[in-house]
Amino acid sequence: MAKTPTPREQARQRTIAEILRIGREQLAKEGAAALSLRAVARELGVVSSAVYRYVASRDELLTLLVVEAYTELGDRVDAAVDAAPGTPFERFAALARAVREWALAEPARYGLLFGAPVPGYHAPAEQTTAPGTRVVARLAGILEQAWAVQGGGSADDDGAGPGGRLPAQLAADLETIRREYGLTIPVQLLARGITVWSGLFGAVNFEVFGQYGRGTFTDPAAYFELVIRQLAAQVGIPEGPG
Amino acid sequence: MAKTPTPREQARQRTIAEILRIGREQLAKEGAAALSLRAVARELGVVSSAVYRYVASRDELLTLLVVEAYTELGDRVDAAVDAAPGTPFERFAALARAVREWALAEPARYGLLFGAPVPGYHAPAEQTTAPGTRVVARLAGILEQAWAVQGGGSADDDGAGPGGRLPAQLAADLETIRREYGLTIPVQLLARGITVWSGLFGAVNFEVFGQYGRGTFTDPAAYFELVIRQLAAQVGIPEGPG
DNA sequence: GGTAAATCGTGAGCGGTGCTCTCGAATATG
DNA sequence: CATATTCGAGAGCACCGCTCACGATTTACC
């Protein structure tokens, strides 16, 4: 049926792609709140109301851009991890570096994903959660690999740090996550992994959003390498070949 | 001279305070981007242009609210740490809990400080950096105390984790920070402290901005307690009395 | 091939925003 | 008391998101 899409449909897809491209530019140049359908229309050489033939609202355009950004970040992370040497540490480091580099290259789009919510806009969970979990899913995979490489270890000792028993409810929640993702690592390690996950984005946030204070680090990348080692150590991934 | 400020000046200060109060409400209710001078004027029962007699622009109002928010967060943290038992772990935990609780109670204002920058708005560093460093300064103090309590330790071993020598430039940067804050802890521990700092706000960000996914943790506070222990361990602050 | 239906761009229009300017009234200062 | 300063009102400019009625074009159907 839809072998050769009708010319009109082709034109429509081209126009939508063009709107996304302009929207991406506006987003990168001015930031999320400055994204304006009227400006997109101007750039497109069309009257403002015409854009509504292709995009229902500003929020929908924002959602499309959010999904696109999540996808791009996920692709970058996947590519970086795939290209990295096989040791858990190198794979984790590749993931972390990919996140940081994309964030620094696309601060506005990164802010759209991990910054404060845009006023009045709420990302619809149905469309954004799936692409939004790609990074953490990949991180979980690396933890799985590291855990397997180390031969599983004892069930009580998950590698490092304060053991301690978990509150029952918390353990149950972690168990649910474990099942959903099909993981075999113990819940204590999973908990550490989640903290590493938020810690990674915390460090990237601080750098991208300028929380460290300007001029604090002459070579932020060097400091980030240190962060990588600290985070990796938290989940029992030593720097040497593991 | 300004013993009894002129009645007009009193009225002016009252009006400014009222504008801030309304702005705070708008911010809390609608979020940073929804903050509108016209809405403030309406609430104030005055025509929109009149507000400009007191506040130069929307950005200035935003800056005032940023400073106010930083101050309030700093006060909460100070109060919580002061009221906590004297062990480094308890003081650190009190700091972390205070940050989280304020963030959850005031998500919009928290987002204004630690989320993505509001579009088109850049906080002037002169006014915001000083109140913005209170939390990290307090954290540094706790690390100092913990370091002192432990008797200093050896200069090479800072307590935990991957030692490793630091790159020269990075060590120099950290040394500068150490001097500026008048710290005695070794730079390796300082580096770990910075990571803990960003890790703390990363975890709070994830919870406040809903990055974990809704319903993931039935008791987020319990998970946060785990995060506290993990972060504390990173800077060599054991849970037991130190 | 001709006709009916779906699509699309235009332009006007509504209510909202930040911000500027002028003007008259109220207030403080000499 | 006269002068100078402060302040609120109102009009206005340019922008925003979004809706609607209207022709022109293109598609689909018979």
| Per-residue model confidence as pLDDT tens digits over B172-204 | 999 999 999 999 999 999 999 999 999 999 999
Where is pLDDT greater, at B217 or B165? B217
What pLDDT score was predicted for residue A130? 85
Contacts of A122 (CB under 8 A, 6+ apart): none
Tell me the one-letter amino acid at A97: R
Task: Show which positions of strand D are touched by protein (CB under 7 A).
Answer: 6-12, 15-21, 26-28
Q: H or E stretch including A86?
A: none
| Per-residue model confidence as pLDDT tens digits over A200-218 | 999 999 999 989 888 899 9
| Interatomic CA–C1' length for residue A17 and nucleotide D26, angstroms | 21
- pLDDT for residue A164 is more than 50: yes
Q: Write down the residue that tokens 């601060």 correspond to.
A: A107
What pLDDT score was predicted for residue A215? 84
User: CATH 1.10.357.10 spans which residues of chain B?
Assistant: 68-235
What percentage of chain A's residues is helix, strand, coil (to nearest 5)? 70, 0, 30
| Per-residue model confidence as pLDDT tens digits over B49-108 | 999 999 999 999 999 999 999 999 999 999 999 999 989 999 999 999 999 999 999 999
User: CATH 1.10.10 spans which residues of chain B?
Assistant: 1-56
Tokens of B47: 């025509």
Neighbouring C-alpha atoms within 13 Å toward the C-beta of B160:
23
Backbone angles phi, psi at A59, to 5 degrees: -60, -40
Tell me the one-letter amino acid at A176: T
A93 pLDDT band (50/70/90 cuts)? very high
Of A31, A169, A219, the CB nearest to B170: A219
What global pTM score does this model have?
0.92
Contact A229, B164 (CB under 8 A): yes
d(CA A128, CA B206): 16
Question: Distances from the Cα of B110 to the Cαs of A75, A116, B67, B70, B98, in angstroms?
Answer: 31, 9, 12, 9, 12
What pLDDT score was predicted for residue A239? 86
Tokens of A227: 């962060």
Contacts of B10 (CB under 8 A, 6+ apart): none
C12 nearest neighbour residue (CA to C1') = A49
**Inter-chain CB proximity B209 and A114 less than 8 Å:** yes
- pLDDT for residue B162 is more than 60: no
Residues of B in contact with A234 (CB under 8 A): 230, 234
**CATH fit for domain B1-56, picks 1.10.3470, 1.10.10, 1.10.1060, 2.40.50:** 1.10.10
What pLDDT score was predicted for residue B3? 47
Query: To which CATH superfamily is domain A68-235 assigned?
Result: Tetracycline Repressor, domain 2 (1.10.357.10)
d(CA A241, CA B2): 70
